[in-house]
Amino acid sequence: MADKIYEYKDKENWFLGEWGGFNAISGLGNVCGDELYELSQQVAKLVASKCCGKCHGHGEDGCHKDEFNGYNVTVVKKSSDFQLIRFVVGMINEETNRHLEVQQRASAVVVTEGDQLLFVHLPEDGVAASAFFGKSSENAFGDTILIATRNEGKTKEFRKMFDQLGIKVENLNNHPELPEVEETGMTFEENARLKAETISKLTGKMVLADDSGLKVDVLGGLPGVWSARFSGPDATDESNNAKLLHELAMVFDMKDRSAQFHTTLVVAAPDKESLVVEADWPGYIAMEAKGDNGFGYDPLFLVGETGRHAAELTADEKNEISHRGLAVKKLMEAFPVWKAEQ
């Protein structure tokens, strides 16, 4: 009897699993048919048979434990073969101490272990050979997205996200030859598009760029796209916060000090319409700074009606509710659909 129930659930997919079955994937309701059966048969080959050692010489071919040495997965809802395969492989890794990796390449799903290619699952219509193998030998298995930043902390956040989609992440530190893209746009989207689309054209790669800032309602949306340099070309967090307090010095009613942190994320790829997602984090500008965490305007930003400053939140608390965290959640939902349209 299985001790642990595995589950994966998002808006388009819902899988339940237990170990101790017959390496079977079955569907509920409308989730069934030959396609699911064939996928189940293919994935089952990934499970290595291991003798329990109590078979009196029968060995691998006759182990009495084999009938229960596998997974049993129920599919409640499915739109992504990749997510289903990734779910099953995760169970196999945990239960058998394997090191299988699941990646996407040109809409195909690739499973590897070390330097061994074990399994390739193709969509019903197949994929273009040039898209799968790439135009040069430098393309390793798995799609890659280039994050338009040199900030390793920000890159780490995105790497964690895209790892769930089987996509490798690199940043501008991997491409020192690339020029700095000047942010000359008048909106967050214009700046994010400028970075993502320019770098995508230069490299031929899929690129993600973001632009974020603070919008204060009584200031007509300022500092906005100028948030990082609000107090001048040599601005620091301290000087920007001081200028913001100065601009609001005669605004005493808290309801008139309403503001939003904003993030726009843009993903660009050659010969493809860019994906754009946005998110706001509403709050107010406090009368004084408070808190030691975060950066930028966090010490002055009161989170909604909580009375807490953004700089008082832990990193995990902030990522859960902030503009960037909300934008990333939206991106996670929209990205697989956008990518499948390539």
Q: Would you say 318 is a known binding-site residue?
A: yes
297 is in an annotated binding site: yes
227 is in an annotated binding site: no
Q: Find out whether 211 is annotated in a ligand binding site.
A: yes
Strand order in the sheet with 100-105: 100-105, 108-113, 116-121
Closest by CA to 332, choosing from 10, 90, 8, is 10
Cα–Cα dist 39/24, whole Å: 10
Question: Does 72 show up as a binding residue in the annotation?
Answer: no
Does residue 295 have a known ligand-binding role?
A: yes
The answer on whether 33 is annotated among ligand-binding residues is: no
| 4/20 Cα distance (integer angstroms) | 10
79, 100, 288 from 116: Cα distances, Å = 28, 10, 58
Read out DSSP for 28-64? Answer: -TTS-SHHHHHHHHHHHTTSPP---S-STT--GGG-T
> Has 324 been labeled as part of a binding site?
yes
* Rounded distance between C-alpha atoms, residue 303 and residue 129, angstroms: 50
Q: Is 296 annotated as a binding residue?
A: yes
The response to whether 319 counts as a known ligand-binding position is: no
154 is in an annotated binding site: yes
298 known ligand binder: yes
Q: Is 152 annotated as a binding residue?
A: yes
Active-site option among 211, 253, 292, 316: 211
Surface-to-core class of residue 7, CB atoms within 10 Å of its CB (0-12 exposed, 13-18 middle, 19+ buried):
exposed
Task: From residue 167, give the alpha-carbon distance in Å to each of 68, 90, 102, 158, 246.
Answer: 33, 16, 9, 10, 45
From the number of C-beta atoms within 10 Å of its C-beta (0-12, 13-18, 19+), residue 331 rates as: buried
| Residue 212 annotated as part of some ligand binding site | yes
Q: What is the 3-state secondary structure (H, E, C) of 198-264?
A: HHHHHHCCEEEEEEEEEEEHHHCCCEHHHHHHCCCCCCCHHHHHHHHHHHCCCCCCHHHHEEEEEEE
Q: The tokens 């010969």 sit on which residue?
A: 271
Give SS3 for 271.
Answer: coil
| 211 carries an active-site annotation | yes
Query: In this structure, what are the phi and psi dihedrals at residue 31, rounded to the nearest 5 degrees?
Result: -90, 85
The token pair at 247 is 């601009």
- Residues comprising the binding site for substrate? 149-154, 212, 295-298, 318, 323-324
- Residues comprising the binding site for Mg(2+)? 182, 211
Catalytic sites, residue numbers: 211
- Residues comprising the binding site? 149-154, 182, 211-212, 295-298, 318, 323-324
